Amino acid sequence: MKKKFNVQEWLETPGTNDIKETAQAPQNEITQPPRTGSAYDEVLQLIEQVEMHRADLTASYEAWRNIGFALADEFGENGRELFHRLSRFHPGYSQPECDKQFDNCLKSKGSGVNIGTLFYLAKAAGIERPKSYTLPKNNPEPAREPEPAETQMLPTFPQSLFPRLPGFLRQVVNVAETDEERDLLLLGSLVTLSSTLPTIYGIYHNKKVFANLFLFVSAQASAGKGRLNHYRKLVKPIHDSLKEQSKAARQQYEVDMAEYHANKKKQPDMERPAEPPLQLLFIPANSSAAGAFQLLSDNMGRGLIFETEGDTLANTFKSDFGNYSDGFRKAFHHETINYYRKTDREYVDLESPCLSTVLSGTPKQVLNLIPSAEDGLFSRFMFYYMNMQPVWSNVFASNTPTGLDDYFYELGKSYFPFYEALKSAPGIQFLLTSEQQQAFNNFFSRCFQRYFNLKGEEYIGTIRRLGLITFRVAMILSTLRLMDSGEVPDKLICEEQDFQTALDMAEILMQHASHIFNHLPGTGQPQRKLNKRERFYEALPATFNRQAYLEIATRLGIKDKTAQGYITRFVSGGLLHRDEKDAYTKPA
Q: What CATH number is attached to the domain comprising 568? A: 1.10.10
pLDDT at residue 140 greater than cutoff 50: no
Judge whether 256 lies within some domain: no
Where does a domain end: 526, 542, 561?
A: 526
Burial 15-39 (b: 16+ CB within 10 A, else e): bbeebbebebbeeeebeeebbebbb
- Helices 115-124 and 39-53: crossing angle, nearest 10°? 30
- Total number of domains in the chain: 3
Range in 130-139, 174-183, 575-584 with the lowest mean pLDDT: 130-139
- Give the pLDDT of residue 321: 66
- For the segment 401-422, the average pLDDT, to the nearest whole number, is 90
SS (H, E, C) 556-568: CCCCHHHHHHHHH
Judgement on whether residues 172 and 25 belong to the same structural domain of the protein:
no
pLDDT at residue 142 greater than cutoff 70: no
- Give the pLDDT of residue 27: 35
CA distance 472 to 494: 11
pLDDT at residue 71 greater than cutoff 80: yes
pLDDT digits (tens, 9 = 90+) for 189-202: 999 999 999 899 99
- For the segment 483-507, the average pLDDT, to the nearest whole number, is 92
Where does a domain end: 508, 526, 544?
A: 526
The count of other CB atoms within 10 Å of the CB of residue 104 is 13
Judgement on whether residues 407 and 495 belong to the same structural domain of the protein:
yes
134 or 351, greater pLDDT: 351
Closest to 360 in 3D by CA, of 398, 395, 311, 309 = 309
3-state DSSP call for residue 114?
A: coil
Judge whether 255 lies within some domain: no
Judgement on whether residues 92 and 219 belong to the same structural domain of the protein:
no
pLDDT at residue 57 greater than cutoff 60: yes
Judgement on whether residues 452 and 573 belong to the same structural domain of the protein:
no
Give the pLDDT band (50/70/90) at residue 123: confident
Judge whether 294 lies within some domain: yes
Sign of the torsion angle spanned by Cα atoms 331, 336, 340, 343 = positive
Where does a domain end: 79, 100, 124?
A: 124
pLDDT at residue 127 greater than cutoff 50: yes
- Give the pLDDT of residue 339: 74
195 or 388, greater pLDDT: 195
CA distance 412 to 220: 29
Query: Which CATH number fits the domain that encloses residue 326?
Result: 3.40.50.300
- Give the pLDDT of residue 519: 74
Give the pLDDT band (50/70/90) at residue 411: very high
Give the pLDDT band (50/70/90) at residue 19: very low
Q: What is the overall mean pLDDT for the chain?
A: 80
Judgement on whether residues 290 and 435 belong to the same structural domain of the protein:
yes
pLDDT at residue 210 greater than cutoff 70: yes
Judge whether 251 lies within some domain: no
- Give the pLDDT of residue 112: 65
- For the segment 99-111, the average pLDDT, to the nearest whole number, is 78
pLDDT digits (tens, 9 = 90+) for 159-200: 999 999 999 999 999 988 888 889 999 999 999 999 999 899
CA distance 125 to 63: 12
- For the segment 551-557, the average pLDDT, to the nearest whole number, is 85
pLDDT digits (tens, 9 = 90+) for 297-340: 888 889 999 988 887 888 888 776 667 788 888 989 999 888 76
Terminal C-alpha separation, the chain: 49
Range of the domain at 541: 532-585
Judgement on whether residues 422 and 494 belong to the same structural domain of the protein:
yes
- For the segment 134-154, the average pLDDT, to the nearest whole number, is 42
Within 481-578, where are the H helices?
Answer: 482-485, 496-517, 532-539, 546-555, 560-572
Judge whether 517 lies within some domain: yes
- For the segment 9-34, the average pLDDT, to the nearest whole number, is 34
Judgement on whether residues 187 and 296 belong to the same structural domain of the protein:
yes
- Give the pLDDT of residue 322: 64
Judgement on whether residues 425 and 352 belong to the same structural domain of the protein:
yes
pLDDT at residue 90 greater than cutoff 50: yes
- For the segment 193-221, the average pLDDT, to the nearest whole number, is 92
pLDDT at residue 73 greater than cutoff 50: yes
- Give the pLDDT of residue 389: 61
Judge whether 414 lies within some domain: yes
Give the pLDDT band (50/70/90) at residue 380: very high
**Residue 136 burial (10 A CB sphere; 0-12, 13-18, 19+):** exposed
pLDDT digits (tens, 9 = 90+) for 438-473: 999 999 998 888 887 777 777 888 889 999 999 999
Judgement on whether residues 560 and 455 belong to the same structural domain of the protein:
no
pLDDT at residue 264 greater than cutoff 60: yes
Judge whether 482 lies within some domain: yes
- Give the pLDDT of residue 441: 94
pLDDT at residue 385 greater than cutoff 70: yes
Closest to 307 in 3D by CA, of 330, 282, 288 = 282
Give the pLDDT band (50/70/90) at residue 104: confident
Judgement on whether residues 578 and 494 belong to the same structural domain of the protein:
no
pLDDT at residue 147 greater than cutoff 50: no
- For the segment 141-164, the average pLDDT, to the nearest whole number, is 65
Beta bridge partners of 382: 215
Judgement on whether residues 558 and 506 belong to the same structural domain of the protein:
no
- For the segment 65-71, the average pLDDT, to the nearest whole number, is 87
pLDDT at residue 36 greater than cutoff 90: no
pLDDT at residue 584 greater than cutoff 60: yes
Strands 577-580 and 583-585: antiparallel
- Give the pLDDT of residue 78: 84
Judge whether 16 lies within some domain: yes
* Residue 153 identity: M
Give the pLDDT band (50/70/90) at residue 30: very low
Task: Identify which of 147-156, 171-180, 432-441, 550-559 has the greatest average pLDDT.
Answer: 432-441
Judgement on whether residues 98 and 196 belong to the same structural domain of the protein:
no
CA distance 42 to 16: 10
- Give the pLDDT of residue 344: 61
